Amino acid sequence: MSATAKIYVTENNEPIYGMLAEFETPADLYHAAEKVRDAGYKKWDTHSPFPIHGMEDAMGIKRTILPVLVAVGGFTGATLGYIMQWWMSQDYKIVVQGKPWGHFVDGGWEPFVPIIFELGILFSAFTALIGMLAMNGLPRWHHPLLKKSRFLRSSQDKFFVSIEACDPSFDPVKTRQLLEQAGARSIELVED
């Protein structure tokens, strides 16, 4: 949270995490996401029991850099696999497949392929896992939304939009009005 961000509290002096709004159908959630995006909110999310086609576009989510990181991780692993085998073959000069030692350019590279491939896959997999966890802010052992019993239905049959109070555009009154105009069935504050 930035130094200029407002800190909102409830009447019980509990800090507010944000606002939670329930919607009736996936179409209502989709259109509400478009309205929240168009209103300029940056720290918000949608919650539904199943994926909704096109929700990323409705939310204005940009493509992630994760595929680039995975490619860099894979090429790094493949390069390290080649360098490792080349370095080890300097001390242990073994003739493989009847080809002279040290002729990697004209036919001595084939025995290196399995290790190059495997290390490329291994590094890509670890880069994907660690990058995904880091970009998602995981692991997070508890989330304030889980305090709301209504929100627990998001894994069964309910659709929600949650807007964080640390968003620069968040104002309890204006945010509530926006969600009401978007067709929310129920709107409530979520304590941190």
What pLDDT, in 10s, does the model give residues 140-175? Answer: 888 899 989 999 999 999 999 999 999 999 999 999
Do 71 and 116 sit in the same domain of this protein? yes
Task: Specify the pLDDT at position 6.
Answer: 72
Dihedral sign from CA coordinates of 131, 137, 141, 142? negative
Q: Which domain holds residue 31?
A: 16-62+140-191
Same domain, 43 and 97: no
As for how many domains the chain has, the answer is 2
In a domain, 162, yes or no: yes
d(CA 145, CA 135): 20
Q: List own/partner pairs for 119-122 with CB under 8 A and 24 or more apart.
A: 119/77, 119/78, 119/80, 119/81, 119/84, 120/74, 120/75, 120/77, 120/78, 120/81, 121/74, 121/77, 122/77
Q: Are 96 and 119 contained in the same domain?
A: yes
Answering whether pTM is above 0.95, one says no
Examine the domain organization and report whether 131 and 153 are in the same domain.
no
Summarised one tens digit per residue, pLDDT across range 87-140 is: 887 777 777 666 666 555 555 677 889 999 999 999 999 999 999 999 988 888
Give me the chain's average pLDDT, please.
89
Looking at the domain assignment, is residue 9 inside a domain?
Answer: no
Residues 50, 91 within the same domain: no
5 within some domain: no
